[in-house]
Structure 1
Amino acid sequence: MLQTIALLFAGVAAGALNAVGGGGKFIALPALVAAGLPPVAANASSTVALLPGALAGAWAYRGDIVQVGSPPRSALTVASLLGSAVGAALLLVLPAATFDAAVPWLLAFATVVLAFGRSLSRLLTAAIGRSVHLGAWGVLIGQFVLAGYGGYFGGAVGILMLALWNVGLGIDPAAGNSARIVQLAAIYATAAGFFLIASDVLSYPVQVAAVLVGAATGGFAGAHWARKLPAPVLRGIVLTTAVMMTVVYFARG
């Protein structure tokens, strides 16, 4: 019972963090591992458990989703769905060791881009003599690649999306948060479908259900809270989360 309560609270924290700035998987995944799930099963289970929270956050943001570049929103979502399907399939058939070794470097890259994205954009503009702006295909290819990472592992995929949009399109991380949570929901939905069918997620119903219920509650509440935060505060939360996750993953070796 105590373990279930702890997983419930971990789910609330993970869902709220995902809605506010990203990084909820870094709470849900360790909690499930601590509850006795093998790492790969915990990875898949955390994606399934965080899906309702992401959907709840997307519903809360439904009225003010920003446009991400020139592609239609439906095309961006299709790129997320397809990329996530590829990533989830790779998780089920390939060893995770090599990719796991790259995760700290991906997080470090995302953190640097988030912290210095505006300055980097200005430097690139000065260097090439024009504004840096991804075209429709650039946005869709980038989203497909990030969604593949999201389906395969998923840690900080929302932060990586904000970093890409910030440098490539000039979208402020606070302004892009609504689109981030919607695309995150699409990525989780596809990967969760794969994991429910082809992995052993259903072998741990109590643990997964506890995180799932908590994440749904935290996701909906966190999205409403995030919409009321001033942009500088939200940017600070996103950047702080990115720095903390990068440090944790490098410390893990």
Structure 2
Amino acid sequence: MLEILLLSVAAFGAGVLNTIAGGGTFLTFPALVLSGVPPISANATSTVAVFPGYLGGAAGYHEELRQMTRASLIRLTAVTLLGGLAGSLLLLVTSNEAFNVIVPFLLLFATLMFLFGPRLRRWAAERSAGIAPEGAVGLFLVSLYGGYFNGGLGIVLLALFALWGWQNIHLMNGLKTWLSFALSAISVATFAVAGIVAWKAALLMMAFSVLGGYAGARAAKAIPQNVVRAIVAIVGFGMSAVFFGRLF
């Protein structure tokens, strides 16, 4: 019962955070590990748990996505699928022991990306001149990371778009959400075929993450963004410290 409560609260909180500012992985992944799910399976299950929210988000940006040519959108989606598949397959050949060592660094990296995301986007925008637009190599590498570990993916995608010289934040957010959905779809399919998803936990968390997403949409209007970012940063650094502590 305690495990069910832990996973439900974590998933609900992740849905709220993802809707307001992102960072839901900082709750779902540690909760699964603490409930006894092996790290590799916990990472895969966490990806499945937050997957439904991306589709709703992408649908909300359909007008912005129509500003792109169909050929460009298809090409970027294809590159994302390839990178996400490569990252997911890389996760499958990683042992739980090795992943235990890598996880604290991934959580710390994702937390720093979240915390300094606005500065990173500004830095990328200032250096966008001369960068080839819609570069496939950069998107593939970002998608590779996203397929392996989803934390902080949205921030890295937005920074990449800024490097391309994009300035329309609504279009950037729309494409970020769509590509996150595509990447998560290929990851979920890969993990499902590989049989590493803890489905009972995943289905429970999917339901509560959707409820959290709905609540987050309402809360977003009332909670200051800097407060939310501070909460996510505290959770992220706290979880990083916990997983670093598990190494010793």
TM-score by length of 2: 0.77
Gaps of 5+ in 1: 125-130
Contact 2:86 2:144 in 1 (8 A): yes
Provide closer, same or farther for how the CA distance between residues 75 and 177 of structure 1 changes in structure 2, counting only shifts above 3 A: same
Partner of 1:134: 131
- Within the candidate set 198, 202, 205, 2:199 is matched to 205
Contact 2:26 2:239 in 1 (8 A): no
Contact 1:12 1:216 in 2 (8 A): yes
In the alignment, the residues of structure 2 paired with residue 85 and residue 142 of structure 1 have an alpha-carbon distance, to the nearest angstrom, of 15
CA offset at residue 148 of structure 1?
0.8
CA displacement, residues 129-169 of structure 1 (integer Å, 9 cap, x when unaligned): xx52532352x222211111111111111111122223442
Amino acid at match of 1:32: L
In the alignment, the residues of structure 2 paired with residue 85 and residue 28 of structure 1 have an alpha-carbon distance, to the nearest angstrom, of 22
Amino acid at match of 1:136: P
Partner of 2:91: 91
Partner of 2:79: 79
Partner of 2:208: 214
Amino acid at match of 2:189: G
After alignment, is 22-31 or 104-113 more displaced? 104-113
Amino acid at match of 2:151: G
Does 2:189 match 1:193?
A: yes
- Within the candidate set 90, 94, 100, 2:103 is matched to 100
Does 2:145 match 1:149?
A: yes
In the alignment, the residues of structure 1 paired with residue 235 and residue 71 of structure 2 have an alpha-carbon distance, to the nearest angstrom, of 31
In the alignment, the residues of structure 2 paired with residue 17 and residue 207 of structure 1 have an alpha-carbon distance, to the nearest angstrom, of 19
In the alignment, the residues of structure 1 paired with residue 208 and residue 120 of structure 2 have an alpha-carbon distance, to the nearest angstrom, of 34
Gaps of 5+ in 2: none
Let me know the Cα RMSD of the aligned residues: 3.4
Provide closer, same or farther for how the CA distance between residues 243 and 5 of structure 1 changes in structure 2, counting only shifts above 3 A: closer
Does 2:45 match 1:45?
A: yes
Amino acid at match of 1:210: L
CA offset at residue 185 of structure 1?
0.9
CA offset at residue 14 of structure 1?
1.2
SS at match of 2:91: helix
Aligned length: 238
CA offset at residue 218 of structure 1?
3.1
CA displacement, residues 179-205 of structure 1 (integer Å, 9 cap, x when unaligned): 22211111111101010111321xx33
